[in-house]
Amino acid sequence: MWEKLDIITNNHVEFKDVTGEVQQVVTRSRLPTGMCYLYVPHTTAAVLINENADPDVMADIAAGLERAVPFAAGYRHVEGNSAAHIKSVLVGQNATLFIENSRLVLGTWQGIFFAEFDGPRRRQLYVKITGD
């Protein structure tokens, strides 16, 4: 089974913690063990897994990505959001997680974040669960 989660972003760049929403899909599946596949159906957004304890980490990730791939750098695409496309490619559309005892298997400090690079927008995150 799979579901489409609705995500609303409020800023140009935003990393939104969606760990709880994804876990709810796992819980609804009633599957004790399996896989959880995340997929972002957008070309200027992505999904990432990183620290959910100190919000400065997310601010630093945004700043580090901006340093490597600046929004203002003379691109050709007329919509003016080329850096968002590049960041989307670098961070990626996929994450794949294990399910054990009906819970996502995550490291102690890990959360799942929807990464917006061209917001604010209405977005979706696709979540598919398969049993072992």
Instruction: Give the interface with its own copies as residue ranges (CB under 8 A).
Output: 2, 35, 37, 39-43, 48-51, 54, 56-57, 59-61, 63-65, 67-69, 73, 75-79, 82-83, 85-86, 88-98, 100, 105-110, 126, 128, 130, 132
| Contact by Cβ (8 Å): 45, 83 | no
Is 106 exposed, middle or buried (CB count within 10 Å of its CB: 0-12, 13-18, 19+)? middle
Find where tokens 């599946």 sit.
29
15 vs 61: CA distance, rounded Å: 9
Nearer CB in complex with its own copies: 8/105: 105
Nearer CB in complex with its own copies: 10/94: 94
Q: How far is the CB of 40 from its own copies (least distance, A)?
A: 8
